[in-house]
Structure 1
Amino acid sequence: MKDRQTTAAAGQGPAGSTPANSRNTGPGRLLIAVYAVFAISASARAGYQILTKFSEAPLAYLLSAFAALVYVVATVSLAKAGSTWFKVSVAAVLVELVGVLVVGALSVFDPVAFPHETVWSLFGRGYAFIPLLLPILGLVWLYRRRPGAKAAAA
C-alpha cells in the first residue's frame, strides 16, 4: 500500500510507469496554452471574416477557418491522455506544418490568390512567424513525449 502511495505521489501509476499523459506537463502546458490562444484567435478571426466579408476573399477566409479547426484539434489532443490522442496530436501538428508551408509558399509566389491574409499567409508573418515555429516545436515535444520513449531510452 505504501509503495502504491509513493508512486502515485510521484505522478506515476501503480507499477512505477510514466504518468498517463506526460505531454501536458512542464513546457507542454505552455505549448497547449499557445495552441489554445491560436485556436481562439483564429476561430474569432475566421468567423468575423466569413460573416462580414466572405465575398472579398473566400479562399483566404476558408483557409483561416481550416487553420482554426486544426488549432482546436491540436489543443484538445495535446491536452488529452492516451495513445489515440497522441496520434491525433501528431496528425494535427503535421497538418498544421504542411498548411503553413503550402499556404506560405502560395502566398509568396501567387499573391493574387490571397488578396487578404490568413493565419498561415507568408508563413505566419502577421503573427510574428509563430505559426511556422509552433508545429516544429510541437513535433519536437511530441517526439520527446512519445509513448514508450522512456522505455526505449532505458
Structure 2
Amino acid sequence: MVALYAVFALAAGARAAVQIALDFAEAPLAYVLSAVASVVYLVAAIGFARGGRAGRRAAVVACSVELVGVLTVGVLSLADPAAFPDATVWSGFGQGYGFIPLALPVLGLLWLRHRSATLDEGQGPAPG
C-alpha cells in the first residue's frame, strides 16, 4: 500500500506541477484538484508507512477523503464536463488512471481494517 500511494502521490504531484506551471488558466479547478489528490496520496503513504495508531488514523482519514473526492469529482466531471475542461486524477472516477483512484481508497480502507483486526487479536503487527 505504501508503494502504491507513493507512486500515485508522485504521479499526481508531477502532473499537477507541470499543469499549474504551464497551463493554469486553462483549467484551474482540475489542476488544483490534481494537486490536492497528490497531497492526499502522500498523507496516506506516510500513514501506511508510519503505522501505529497515529499512522493508521492518518491513513484512514486520507483514504476516506480520497474516496469522497474521487466519487464527488467523478460524478461532477461526468455531469458537467464544461467545469473540467482538462482531466484531474479523479475525473471520470479515475478513468485516465485505469480506475485505480476509485479502487485504491477502498483497498486501503479494507487493508487498514484487516490490520486493525489482526492487531486487536494480539497476533502482532501485520507486514505493510
Q: TM-score, normalising length from structure 2?
A: 0.91
Q: Is residue 2:112 matched to residue 1:142?
A: yes
Residue type at the aligned position of 1:137: L
Q: Is residue 2:33 matched to residue 1:95?
A: no
Other structure's SS at 1:145 match = helix
**Number of aligned residue pairs:** 122
Residue type at the aligned position of 1:104: G
The aligned counterpart of 1:63 is 33
Give how far 1:84 is off.
1.2
CA distance in 1, matches of 2:60, 2:30: 25
CA distance in 1, matches of 2:81, 2:27: 12
Deviation readout 1:1-49 (Å, 9 max, x if unpaired): xxxxxxxxxxxxxxxxxxxxxxxxxxxxxx2111111010001000000
Structure 1 stretches lacking a partner, 5+ long: 1-30
The aligned counterpart of 1:37 is 7
The aligned counterpart of 2:126 is none
Other structure's SS at 2:86 match = coil
More helix by share: 2
CA distance in 2, matches of 1:36, 1:92: 13
Residue type at the aligned position of 2:75: A
Q: TM-score, normalising length from structure 1?
A: 0.76
CA distance in 2, matches of 1:133, 1:121: 14
Residue type at the aligned position of 1:150: E
Q: What is the percent sequence identity of the aligned residues?
A: 55
* Equivalent residue for 1:48, pick from 12, 18, 21: 18
What value does the CA root-mean-square deviation take over the aligned residues? 1.4
Give how far 1:69 is off.
0.4
The aligned counterpart of 1:76 is 46
Residue type at the aligned position of 2:6: A
CA distance in 2, matches of 1:81, 1:128: 28
Structure 2 stretches lacking a partner, 5+ long: 123-128
Other structure's SS at 1:50 match = helix
Other structure's SS at 2:116 match = coil
Farther off after superposition, 31-40 or 140-149: 140-149
Q: Is residue 2:103 matched to residue 1:128?
A: no
Larger radius of gyration: 1
Give how far 1:81 is off.
2.5
CA distance in 2, matches of 1:81, 1:71: 15
